[in-house]
Amino acid sequence: MDNRFSLLGGWLRRRAENLLALMLLAMFLIFLLQIASRYVFNLSIGWTHEASVGLWIWMVLFGSAFVVREVDEIRFDLFWGAASARGLRVMQIVGSASLVGLFTWSLPAVIDYVSFMRVESTAYLKIRFDLLYSIYVVFAIAMIIRHLWLCGLAIKGKAPEGFDPTKASSGV
C-alpha cells in the first residue's frame, strides 16, 4: 500500500515540476516578446508585464507548495548542523507546530480577503484578483498539511535530515 502511495506521490511531483517548467517557459517567452516589442518595434504592450507578474506569483507559491522539498528549504545551518537527532526533532516540532498554528490562524482572513478581491481585476488582461491570488490559499493549505505531517513524523521519532556538508548545495 505504501509503495503505491509512493509511486503516485512521485508521479504527482513530476507533473507539478512539469507544470512549473511550463509556467517558467511561458514567462520567458512573454518576457522576450516584451523586450522585442519595446526595443525592436518601439511598441509598449502592458499585458506582458501583467502576465509575467501573475506567472511569477503562481510559480513561487505553486512551487513552494508542491515542488520544493523539505531538505531544500532555507534553515539556520549554524543551529541545524550542530544539533543532535533529538535536537533536530525538537526544532522540527516547534517550527512545524508554529507554522501550522500561524497558517491555520490566518487562513479564514486570507480566504475572506481573496474572496473580497473578486471585485477588482487587472488593467490589461482583466483577470480577477481573487483568481490571481487564489494560489495563496492553496499554498497555505499545502503548508498546513506538510507541516502537520512533518510534526507527526518528528513526534513519532523520525528526525529530519541533518546538515551534510558533503552534499552539493547553493551555498546560501
pLDDT in tens, 97-144: 999 999 999 999 999 999 999 999 988 999 999 999 999 999 999 999
φ/ψ of 153, rounded to 5, equals -60, -40
- Of the candidates 65, 41, 79, the one whose C-alpha atom is nearest the C-alpha of residue 139 is 65
pTM listed for this prediction? 0.83
At 4-36, the pLDDT tens digits run 877 887 888 899 999 999 999 999 999 999 999
Query: Domain residue spans in the chain?
Result: 1-68, 72-163
Q: Is there a contact between 27 and 55 (Cβ–Cβ < 8 Å)?
A: yes
